[in-house]
Amino acid sequence: MEPFGKSAEYYDLTYLKIRNYAKDCNVLEAIFTRFCKHKPKSILDIGCGTGTHALILSRRGYDVVGIDVSEAMISKANAKAEKAKTRAEFHVQDMRRIELDKMFDSAICMFGAFGFVQSHKGLIDVFSGLRRHLIKNGLFIFDFWSVLAVKPTPFQRWIEAKDREKTIYRLSESTFDHRTNVMTINMKFIITQKNRHVETFEETLKIKCYTLVEMQQHLLDNGFKLVSVLDWDSEEEKDKLKPSAKETFRILAVAKRS
């Protein structure tokens, strides 16, 4: 199930300049204020990647533990935590088999990571692990891709990201299987350094998409209640707290453990 291999080395350079992680965390804290009786002290970050959300939340005073199936991602996260001198912890774990000797006030699963679980049994396993590690009425905040707004790109799109040493060109194209509701994204990475080609490699991601009705039922079947859905595509923080429209591709769901 490991979705990132070689690209983990370049993950932060690719995304830190196109995604506002601090703004994401502002929205999470607004959700805590709105739906939690008491401000959570501990957060489980599922599919944490290189740990950017977790590190920001840790610096804001939360006790954060992040898990990810990718050893390369967790290695990056631990290096960043050591450099930042935060108390955030990171462990290599599959979200379908969460085993931590700790309970949490809340849990998050950001940036489409929930979609990497594509089987019904896998979903049951994720929710089962969450129930074992989340306190009663604890919030589970996660985003998922909506079937109703899927727009596959059968042509190549590309992004460029660079620092003082390297430039990354990522070309991607996607297809969507309406029988399984799985989007396949084929990516090609071209890395240059000082205008000289360093390496080229390819990776493929498969992301399961859902309808809102399906997701609500999955939550109910597994001991969670959907309490709100938010527009995660909005550029404005205040608009993210409005109910999601049908055309919203990335829906942020807020659920409570029963």
Between 94 and 5, the more confident residue is 94
- The reported pLDDT for the residue numbered 19 is 85
What is the mean predicted confidence (pLDDT) over 94-105?
A: 96
* 187 beta partners: 172, 203
**CATH superfamily, region 149-208:** CAC2371-like domains (2.20.130.10)
- The reported pLDDT for the residue numbered 229 is 92
Domain boundaries, the chain: 6-146+211-257, 149-208
CA 181 to each of CA 12, 34, 39, 241, 247: distance values in angstroms, whole numbers, following the listed order: 28, 32, 36, 27, 16
Neighbours of 231 (CB within 10 A): 19
pTM: 0.93
Is 90 exceeded by the pLDDT of residue 218?
yes
Is 90 exceeded by the pLDDT of residue 152?
no
Question: How do residues 23-79 score in pLDDT, each as one tens digit?
Answer: 999 999 999 999 998 999 999 999 999 999 999 999 999 999 999 999 999 999 999
Q: Which residues contact 258 (CB under 8 A, 6 or more apart)?
A: 136, 223, 224, 225
- The reported pLDDT for the residue numbered 169 is 94
- Domain 6-146+211-257 sits in CATH 3.40.50.150: yes
Is 70 exceeded by the pLDDT of residue 1?
no
- The reported pLDDT for the residue numbered 245 is 65
| Same fold flag, 6-146+211-257 and 149-208 | no
C-alpha–C-alpha distance, residues 97 and 4, integer Å: 18
- The reported pLDDT for the residue numbered 17 is 75
- The reported pLDDT for the residue numbered 166 is 92
- The reported pLDDT for the residue numbered 76 is 95
